[in-house]
């Protein structure tokens, strides 16, 4: 049975902590592993990407493997080839593959029929690879993760859900502050708030993401109105723990969900977080292909 990574819930606590430590090792020496020598990895992008593509393509290369980027307009899926048949054929040519797509059922169905590991590079519901890099960044900053408080401020979306799921496995207290209508459902014990001020009290990390995710463009105006007071700025950070760091998965919209002062300021770990995508995903690929 191939090992998949669709939501992050597949990892045990020990596996997750070992993966984060391995990622920190690989960051110190990016060519330390040739785990993918002689292996090809398929990377299907049905939505735009900067970081995920860069980090997976460079990461597979650094592990000695060959990344094959697949865009929808180049694939027969676009002309109606079934998800099942796509999974069967990919499994005959590559040793694992990832997909960035819309509905979660697409990645679930690929995983059902694939005989090689399938990993989620972002769906409407989840972004678990991002959460791995986020926890790695917290581990680098604070050491132990157990008992840390991470407050996510904004839309209760894929990024918030993955932080809740993967954070809980690591022992991080995840709080999510969102306006009515944009709240995350109760998931993985995350504490839900409406008031960001209340939610950041004692937080070691304050995290935000875009107000308008890919696929949500039709409701952009409503979202900007509803989320206007859910901006991460210096005043909000001042209400968190003294050692607080600001996180954002990017792309950022300075002046919307985060101010430029925070995005480029002293308390952010955002650009490190973007780099850590590659290291964390290399450790994930080692685990899935072990």
Please give the residue ranges that form the binding site for ligand CP (CB under 6 A).
49-52, 122, 130, 249-251
Q: Residue 275, class by beta-carbon neighbours within 10 Å (0-12 exposed, 13-18 middle, 19+ buried)? A: middle
Closest CA to 161 of 194, 190, 201: 190
If one asks whether residue 54 binds ligand NVA (CB under 6 A), the answer comes out as: no
Per-residue CA distances from 267 to 171, 262, 271 (Å): 23, 7, 11
Nearer to ligand NVA, 53 or 66 (CB): 53
- Picked from ligand NVA, ligand CP, none, the partner binding residue 50 (CB below 5 to 8 A depending on kind) is ligand CP
Map the footprint of ligand NVA across residues 91-130, applying CB under 6 A. 122
Nearer to ligand CP, 184 or 192 (CB): 184
Among 213, 273, 276, 281, binds ligand NVA (CB under 6 A): 213
Query: How many beta carbons lie within 10 A of that of residue 80, not counting itself?
Result: 6
Nearer to ligand NVA, 214 or 239 (CB): 214
What angle (nearest 5°) sits at the alpha carbon of residue 148, between those of residues 146 and 153? 140
- Picked from ligand NVA, ligand CP, none, the partner binding residue 123 (CB below 5 to 8 A depending on kind) is none
Nearer to ligand CP, 4 or 277 (CB): 277
Shortest CB 101 distance to ligand CP, Å: 13
Nearer to ligand NVA, 44 or 289 (CB): 44
Question: How many residues of this chain bind ligand NVA (CB under 6 A)?
Answer: 9
d(CA 99, CA 86): 12
Binding mask 155-184 for ligand NVA (x = CB under 6 A): --xxx-------------------------
d(CA 5, CA 256): 32
Q: Residue 152, class by beta-carbon neighbours within 10 Å (0-12 exposed, 13-18 middle, 19+ buried)? A: buried
Closest CA to 219 of 182, 251, 253: 182
């Amino acid at each position: 049975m191939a090992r998949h990574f669709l939501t992050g819930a597949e990892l045990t606590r020990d596996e997750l902590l070992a993966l984060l430590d391995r990622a920190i090792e690989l960051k110190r020496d990016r060519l330390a592993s040739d785990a993918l020598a002689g292996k090809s990895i398929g990377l299907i992008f049905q939505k735009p990407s900067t970081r995920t593509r860069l980090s997976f393509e460079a990461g597979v290369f650094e592990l000695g493997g060959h990344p094959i980027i697949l865009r929808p307009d180049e694939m027969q899926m676009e002309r109606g080839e079934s998800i099942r048949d796509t999974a069967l054929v990919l499994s005959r040519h590559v040793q694992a593959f990832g997909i960035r797509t819309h509905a979660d059922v697409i990645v679930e169905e690929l995983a059902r029929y694939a005989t090689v590991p399938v990993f989620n590079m972002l769906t409407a519901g989840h972004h678990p690879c991002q959460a791995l890099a986020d926890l790695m960044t917290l581990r680098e900053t604070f050491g132990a993760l157990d008992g840390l408080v991470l407050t996510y401020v904004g839309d209760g979306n894929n990024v918030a859900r993955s932080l809740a799921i993967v954070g809980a496995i690591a022992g991080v207290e995840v709080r999510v502050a969102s306006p009515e209508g944009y709240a995350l459902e109760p998931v993985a014990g995350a504490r839900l708030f409406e008031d960001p001020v209340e939610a950041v009290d004692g937080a070691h990390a304050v995290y935000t993401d875009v107000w308008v995710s890919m696929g949500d463009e039709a409701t952009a105006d409503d979202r900007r109105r509803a989320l206007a007071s859910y901006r991460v700025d210096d005043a909000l950070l001042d209400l968190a723990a003294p050692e607080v760091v600001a996180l954002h998965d990017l792309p950022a919209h300075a002046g919307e969900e985060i101010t430029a002062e925070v995005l480029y300021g002293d308390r952010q770990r955002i650009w490190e977080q973007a780099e850590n995508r590659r290291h964390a995903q290399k450790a994930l690929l080692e685990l899935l292909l072990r």
